[in-house]
Each structure stands twice: as C-alpha cells, then as structure tokens.
Chains A and B, each alone.
Chain A
C-alpha cells in the first residue's frame, strides 16, 4: 500500500526533498539561499514551459480519439460520430485545455509520466526509451566539436580584429617593418580564411551538407554512413562470446561522425561570433590596459586577462547552445536516417500529428536547457568572484 503510494509519487518526493535541503541549508548561508531561489525559479519556468508547449501542440490538427477511431476503422469496424464522442469522454478529451494540462502536469511531477502517445499507442516514456539520451549525446558531441574549433579560432580572430595590414611602427627599422607587414597580413588572411570556413557551416544548410557527404560516398561506391550501424553489426550485441566487440565499436564510430560533424559545423559559426565578440569586449576594458602598462605582454596578456574573463559568459550560455544545436538536429536526423528523439519529433509533428509525443520531447529539451542553466548559474556563483559579487551582493 505505502510502497504503491511512494512508487506513484516518487518524483515529487525527490523534488521536494532537494528543495527542502536547499532551504534548510540556505537559512543562514547566503550562497545556498541563492541556490534555493534559482531552484524554485527553474521549477516555475518549467511549469510555464509545460503550459506553453502543451497549448501550442493544440494547433496540430486532429485529436487522439479521432486517430484511435480511424485506426479501428481500418480494422473493418464501422464507427459512428457517437463512438468518437464516447471515446473522447473515455480519454478525457472533452475537458477544457487547462484541466487536461493540469492532469498532464500532475502526472509529470508525481512520477515523471509524459502521457500517452496515440500514434504509437503506448506511453510516451516507453516510446522514447533511451532515444532522448541518444539525441542528448549527439548534441553534446556536436557542441564539443563546435567549442573545440570556435574557442581557439574565435580568440585568434579577436586578436587580429583591430590590427592594421601594414606595420607602421616608427621604432622599427625598414626591414623590421617589412617583416612585420608580412606577419600582420598573414594573420589577417588566416583569420579571414578561418572565418570563411566556419561561416560556411552556417551558410550551407545542414541538410544539404549531410546530403553532399552522402552523395560523395555514393559516387565513390562506398556504403553510405547513414543510420548508426551497418546492417551486419546492427543486431550484434556489444559483448559477444569473445569479449567486447571492437569491430562493432569501429563500425559505430564510422557512422556516428557524420551527424556530429554536420550539426557541429553549423553550430561553430555562431560560437565563433560569440567568442570573438566576448573577447573583443573584454580586451578593450581598462584592466587590460593596466596589465599592459605593468609590462604584461603577448600571450600572457591575452590568456591571463581578456580570454580568462570571457570564459564564464561562454560557459553560462551552454544551455542555450544546446537548444540551438537540438534545433538543427531533426532535419539532419531525417536526412541521415537516425532514429533518435529528434526524428521522432519530426514524425510526430508533420506526419502523425501526435500531440503528446511532440509535447513530451519538447518538454524534455526545455528540461535539459533549464537544468543546464541552473547548474551553470550555481557553479559560476561558486567559482567566479564577479558573479558571486553580483548575485550575493557582498
């Protein structure tokens, strides 16, 4: 009885106990008080997001009862309007939107139940399975790829931004000026090239990029790297009779790079712009001048002052970067033939009009973004003295 009760409401207890713990620690600790505030703000935002997502999905045509009845119709049963109405009442679809939303949210907070998908005729949690984690890993890998390229190149780009093409330093001799001009022009050209390459990722729509790569494979006569595995490895378990299947891992890596590369490249352009703008902003501040006046120079100046200070806003934006990458994923998934939650989302939206499944996936994305924002806020307040000062006020 009691076990039943707790297994039905487990998520609520977890949420409440985290909140309670934070509140208890925050009574005499300013930092935990801030964390507690962020915590309930995040929960409130989630509630609002669930409302927006749930009501937006109402614009999709048709409802669950119609689809269910239409399915029964194909099985040879004759269905009348009264049957549809009865089905609606059974599913609770005759109730108003706030009522249905209330029930959905209650189930969600009590036991993480995302509702029932009518097109799949199973619960959304089951239909998703670990596919959402797959999308999550894709996005994180793509984001990592983007950061690895954007951060060093963005800093480099900011470094050359206000440099002239010609060395006109009057203290330099003729030869020194000539060498300086070559160096400066080289840097400028390199910066331009790097920017062109990274912006190409933005300018080539990612579906086209994926198509082009697949096409190259077709022309080369190689098997296409679509999906996650080749046919021969798809059904082989990871741990075979002779230990871990390394061959399967290689096969997996041979397929996985394509979606990560495609979404990563298109995310690079925006990251590069952000890093560049952040570092340029910081580099024109007075403390950089002060450091320069003290004699700090070259790489030490850049790494120690503007770059170091632009890391925390960059870290702070990880949540929204994730949202932006996930935004691109559905179309890539359609082209490459992935079976992750992004592909499910497209299917639910444009083909089966499955409101609950689409709402569930969108809610999960929002959940990830909000949790990431929460974590980065909390971590930054702990380690970055500037943020700590601004949020804790001491």
Chain B
C-alpha cells in the first residue's frame, strides 16, 4: 500500500531539471522533499481530514452536541450500527434500526407488601444495576434510512463578522442524518449527548487551544530570543540565565499552580479556555527562545544586517524584517512538532479537573471520562474520543517528523 502510494507520489512529480532545482525557493524545496516521505503524506491526509472535520464540526455531525440536542430517550445508548442489508433484503441506501428502551417492570405492589423475597428478586433481576440501563431493544422491522444533507439544528458555518460587518454565515443542513429521530453512530453518554458529534466538536476546541498557546509561545520566544540575540552582552547574559532557570523546572506542576490560581478567579468557560492556553504558551518560551538567540547571534554579523543598519533601519525593523524571515521555515517546523506536546499538556490539566471542564467539548474533557469505572465497564463506546485523540496525535507526530526531515537543507542525498 505504502509502496504504491510512494510510486504514485513520485510519478505525479514533474520531471526535475537541474535548472529549476537551483533556482527553487526554500518552500518549493521543502514541498518537493516532503512529497517523498510516504508516511508523512499519509499522515498529512489523515491530519487534514480530521482538522477539516473538526473545523466544520457542526456540518459533519448529525446531532447537536450540547444539552439541547441530548436524546432523552436514548441515554447511555450503544452505537447504532448502519447496515446495507438484512434478512429483508439488500438496500443501496444504508439504514439503521429504531431502538426502544426496555423499561424493566418494578413490581411495586409486591414491594409494598413487605416481602423480602420481592426485594431480593428485584435486586437479582439486575433492574437496578447500571449495566441494565444500557439495554435497548432493536426493532428490526422499522428501518431508518440514512439521508444526505438533512435539515437539522441551525449553526454558524463560518463567522467572518469583523467590526460592524455581519458576515456570520448560518446554515441548517448536515452532511448526513436519518429520516426519523437521531442517529448515534458512536452511542450516547449519560445525558444522551451524541459521542460522535461531541468528539468532532472537541477536535477543533483542542486544536484552537493549541494554536493560541503556540502563537503566544512564538511571540514570547521571538521576544526573548530576538532581544537577547540582537543586543548581546549583558542583556543576553541576564535573559539567558533566566531562560536556563525556567528550562529546568518541570512545566506541568507550574501549569497546575497557575490553573489552581485561575480557578480562584471567577471566569466564564471561554475566558478560562483562553487563560489556560496563554499560560501554557507563555511559560514555554525557553527552548525555542534559546535556539532563536543562537541563530540571531550568528546572523547579526552578516553583511546584509550591516547594510540595513547603514541604510538607517531601526533595530526592530532589522529584527522583524531581516533576521526573523531568515529562519521562518525552522519556526514553522518547530511549531508543528510542538503541537502534540501542547495538546497533551491541555489533556493532563483537564484530566486533573483543572483545565476545561464539562460541558465544554474538548478532547481532554472527553478523555477524563475514560477514568470512570462505570464507563470502563458499561459504556466502552465512550472510548471513541480516545481513539480519535490517538490518531490525531500520531498524525501530528508523523507530519512533524517528515517536515523536519524535509526542512533540513542538508538532508538531500548527494
């Protein structure tokens, strides 16, 4: 499979002639090298699909993930399987069955009679155990057919409103759904919220936290590295000894302390969400900051910097317009490689109940539920977000690996 894909990728590439290789820009070279990494390409496709599905989550999810869309009739329900055929014959259009809750009959009269036997019978019948609450009877005679572009709850497809301009594009169509009731591809949780839809919505929340954190991290690192590398001397010594000190302290306990402090302040979920992202990003400047400083220290003595200085450019202009563009590719690669680590930090905080909390949909919140013994034993389908999480992180790591190799200008074979 991989060999096949690799061949495909190689064939699609135009004939490389000597001339174009030497005149190609940095980005074109990276792109050309990246195309040769089969695992990277496969991972990039998976990653792209996941991010796209996350970004347009309302469109791709058949059910509203908030409490408004919770299916009261189908709490703790198992995944509803989609079939193409059954005993009654083959159907080109996939369908699911309708599910009914079996309400276990509790013989109140016998209980009121005061017989201990009746109580014993009730307990041993399992009507009170939590696993029996997951029992639904499948009505195989009633098919519910899958439909494309069904009408459902209204959502904002993409919000482009800037300033006074109202460009909030709203839509109420969803990629797929069933004609009667709701379809729960991955089952539901205790409140009847659809797991599949929640997971899709969670992807973008988690990725956007990571993006905010990485942007903050980038700004902090650029500031520390740029200032320290450009000015050198005493400024450099002081800033670098502080970074060195920050680097040796394990970050998760520090995030924890900050999260505890944040929990004292009364914040809305959205503010809390950004505060956590900013904390994670702002404390993580040490590694990248040091690298940038080393790079600037070597670059600042180059002739083009001297030329800019003689032309009268200001310090900030030289840093931003001349020095930083010289290692954009490095910054991009480093940012991508750091994605999984930032996502993991958010997850760990959520796991301890100090990051985002219910009812926000984030992968950390959904993963946290996996530690509940009830879910582990009776609702194994709630591990679906774990699967998505693992695939997402793996895709990030593999794309990062391939990009790192591709961005290295010396990796080309001679």
The judgment on whether A and B are partners is yes
Question: Cβ of A302: which chain B residues have Cβ within 8 Å of it?
Answer: none
**B248 contacts A369, C-beta separation under 8 Å:** yes
Does A117 touch B at the CB level, under 8 Å? no
Question: Cβ of A199: which chain B residues have Cβ within 8 Å of it?
Answer: 393-394, 397-398
Question: Cβ of B2: which chain A residues have Cβ within 8 Å of it?
Answer: 165, 188-189, 192
Contacting A at CB under 8 A, from B1-52, are 2-3, 6-7, 38-39
Query: How big is chain A's contact interface, by range?
Result: 35 or more
Question: Cβ of B371: which chain A residues have Cβ within 8 Å of it?
Answer: 207-208, 211, 335
Contacting B at CB under 8 A, from A354-394, are 358, 361-362, 365-366, 369-370, 373
Stretch of A2-10, A48-56, A77-85, A93-101 contacting B (4+ beta carbons < 8 Å)? A48-56
**A203 contacts B397, C-beta separation under 8 Å:** yes
Give A57's nearest chain B residue, CB to CB.
B257
**B241 contacts A326, C-beta separation under 8 Å:** no
Question: Cβ of B352: which chain A residues have Cβ within 8 Å of it?
Answer: 331, 334, 346, 350
Does A44 touch B at the CB level, under 8 Å? yes
Q: Within the complex, what minimum Cβ distance (angstroms) separates A309 from chain B?
A: 15
Stretch of B170-178, B187-195, B258-266 contacting A (4+ beta carbons < 8 Å)? B258-266
Does A16 touch B at the CB level, under 8 Å? no
Query: Assuming A205-B367, A208-B386, A349-B253, is B248 touching A59 (CB within 8 A)?
Result: no
Q: Point out the residue from B244, B256, B401, B411 that lies within 8 Å of A346, measured CB to CB.
A: B256
**B411 contacts A362, C-beta separation under 8 Å:** no
Question: Cβ of A203: which chain B residues have Cβ within 8 Å of it?
Answer: 340, 389-391, 393-394, 397
Does A336 touch B at the CB level, under 8 Å? no
CB-CB contacts of A338-358 with B at 8 A, as 1s and 0s? Answer: 000000011001100100001
Question: Cβ of A269: which chain B residues have Cβ within 8 Å of it?
Answer: 397
Measured in the bound complex, the distance between the Cα atoms of B297 and A125 in whole Å is 43
CB-CB contacts of A18-57 with B at 8 A, as 1s and 0s? Answer: 0000000000000000000000000011001100110011
**A49 contacts B249, C-beta separation under 8 Å:** yes
Question: Cβ of A331: which chain B residues have Cβ within 8 Å of it?
Answer: 252, 348, 351-352
Q: Point out the residue from B242, B251, B370 that lies within 8 Å of A48, measured CB to CB.
A: B242
Question: Cβ of A61: which chain B residues have Cβ within 8 Å of it?
Answer: 260-261, 264
Q: Within the complex, what minimum Cβ distance (angstroms) separates B365 from chain A?
A: 13
**A358 contacts B253, C-beta separation under 8 Å:** yes
**Chain A interface helix/strand/loop/mixed:** helix
Measured in the bound complex, the distance between the Cα atoms of B410 and A361 in whole Å is 43
**A366 contacts B348, C-beta separation under 8 Å:** no
Does A311 touch B at the CB level, under 8 Å? no
**Chain B interface helix/strand/loop/mixed:** helix
Q: Point out the residue from B3, B245, B256 that lies within 8 Å of A185, measured CB to CB.
A: B3
Question: Cβ of B394: which chain A residues have Cβ within 8 Å of it?
Answer: 196, 199-200, 203
Measured in the bound complex, the distance between the Cα atoms of B337 and A199 in whole Å is 13
Measured in the bound complex, the distance between the Cα atoms of B340 and A223 in whole Å is 34
**B250 contacts A365, C-beta separation under 8 Å:** yes
Does B184 touch A at the CB level, under 8 Å? no
Q: Within the complex, what minimum Cβ distance (angstroms) separates A323 from chain B?
A: 5
Does A327 touch B at the CB level, under 8 Å? yes
Does A204 touch B at the CB level, under 8 Å? yes
Question: Cβ of A361: which chain B residues have Cβ within 8 Å of it?
Answer: 253
Pick from A44, A45, A48, A205 the residue with the most CB of B within 10 Å. A205
A-B contacts besides A49-B245, A59-B257, A162-B413, 20 pairs, CB < 8 Å: A48-B245, A56-B257, A60-B257, A202-B340, A202-B393, A203-B390, A208-B367, A208-B371, A215-B376, A269-B397, A280-B405, A320-B247, A323-B248, A324-B250, A327-B250, A327-B253, A334-B352, A349-B260, A350-B354, A362-B249
Chain A residues in contact with chain B, CB under 8 A? 44-45, 48-49, 52-53, 56-57, 59-61, 161-162, 165-166, 185, 188-189, 192, 195-196, 199-200, 202-205, 207-208, 211, 215, 269, 273, 276-277, 280-281, 284, 289, 319-320, 323-324, 326-328, 330-331, 334-335, 345-346, 349-350, 353, 358, 361-362, 365-366, 369-370, 373
